Amino acid sequence: MHLTQDQVNERLKSKGFLALDVPKDLDLATEIKLLKKKKNAVLLAHYYQEAVIQELADYLGDSLYLAQAAQKVSAEIIVFSGVHFMAETAKIINPNKKVILPDLKAGCSLADSCPPSDFKKFIDQYPGAHVVTYINCSAEIKGLSTIVCTSSNAKRVIESIPEGETIIFAPDKNLGHYLIKETGRNMILWEGSCIVHEAFSFERIVNLSKTYPKAKFIAHPESESQILEIADYIGSTSGLLKFVQENSATEFIVATEAGILYEMEKRCPNKTFIPAPVEDETCACSECAYMKLNTLEKLYLCLKYETPEIKLSDSLIEKAKLPIVKMLDLG
Ligand code: 13P
Ligand code: SF4
């Protein structure tokens, strides 16, 4: 049975336990470490999680790394501190394991921008097309795909399709336009986008670059074309991390979710990282509100009660697995 987050909250409440009831003096980090050990659970976390969760992760990385990690873990329980589509991917790869997510409402605006029924009608207009989907989509969308990709391997995935074949790319139009430029392949794009990466302000980034003239401007390919055009480097979260470590510059303006700055500062303590400014000066819009739904308290409760759990039907797992495995087999 698939429970909504509200149903999960109700169940916790019926057991007399609410997130707010977590004793204030409980050392949650220690408790989480103990629970992981006791329950043979492994914690996979994305770089966009809050720092304290990143520190507890057994595997910390970008979407591709976490999907690869999910493929090799032997633990009985996977607790996924990331968003829903990431935990779903881990479940599809490990149908016999219990996969739990601290907050089932940790969704993704990009995944939401591609409803399965509309997408099915869209792809039906192009019989014989290869359907390449960015991993930021639901299991249903994956089930309609030829192959999945992440921002780390998208170029390689597109290039694995024979020249001259029709390609549909979904759901991110910004990543899609970037890949058309990079690969020279003429793809049909679904018009989805990410609210976090579309919030960056071109004018404010240009102004900030004048204040830091030596800073390199780096961006995630989910950002809009005009932002990518002025970037010194474009890459996935792990690509951006590698770039700041290897580049001789000491200042970087970073256009992706602000959680990545924690690992950048950790790996390069003598360099300066500035989050790229967003349009709305009053908003912390470069933080993904979905990712940040996973708090330390919820992570603790999730491990303690082994809920909320990702549940998918066997038939959906079967359909969605093939395009994911195809991607993972590419290396
Ligand atoms: P990565 O592929 O860099 O992990 O990106 C995931 C994501 O959600 C970007 O918004
Ligand atoms: Fe989805 Fe954007 Fe959040 Fe990434 S940053 S999880 S694409 S809403």
229: containing domain: 202-275
**Per residue in 11-33, pLDDT tens?**
666 655 555 568 888 999 999 99
Contact 138, 109 (CB under 8 A): no
Same domain, 133 and 188: yes
Domain final position from 129, 163, 194? 194
Same domain, 230 and 190: no
Tens-level pLDDT at each residue, the chain (331 residues): 556 666 666 666 665 555 556 888 899 999 999 999 999 999 999 999 999 999 999 999 999 999 999 999 999 999 999 999 999 999 999 999 999 999 999 999 999 999 999 999 999 999 999 999 999 999 999 999 999 999 999 999 999 999 999 999 999 999 999 999 999 999 999 999 999 999 999 999 999 999 999 999 999 999 999 999 999 999 999 999 999 999 999 999 999 999 999 999 999 999 999 999 999 988 888 999 999 999 999 999 999 999 999 999 999 999 999 999 999 999 8
Evaluate whether residue 297 is within a structural domain: yes
Same domain, 18 and 102: yes
Same domain, 51 and 120: no
Run of H or E residues at 196: none
CATH number at residue 179: 3.40.50.10800
Query: Which of 64, 101, 290, 293 to probe ligand 2 with, by most ligand atoms within 8 A of CB?
Result: 290
Alpha-carbon distance 226 to 182, whole Å?
15
Supply the pLDDT for residue 166.
Answer: 98
Same domain, 222 and 252: yes
Supply the pLDDT for residue 23.
Answer: 84
Domain final position from 140, 163, 194? 194
Cis peptide before 308 (omega within 30 of 0): yes
Alpha-carbon distance 224 to 295, whole Å?
29
Evaluate whether residue 323 is within a structural domain: no
328: Cβ contacts below 8 Å, ≥ 6 apart: 67, 68, 71
| Cα 37 to middle of ligand 2, angstroms | 30
Evaluate whether residue 329 is within a structural domain: no
Evaluate whether residue 19 is within a structural domain: yes
Closest Cα to atom 8, ligand 1: which residue?
136
Alpha-carbon distance 55 to 299, whole Å?
13
Same domain, 117 and 157: yes
| Structural domain count of the chain | 3
Same domain, 301 and 250: no
Q: Check if 136 has its Cβ closer than 6 Å to any atom of ligand 2.
A: yes
Evaluate whether residue 14 is within a structural domain: yes
279: Cβ contacts below 8 Å, ≥ 6 apart: 199, 200, 201, 204, 285
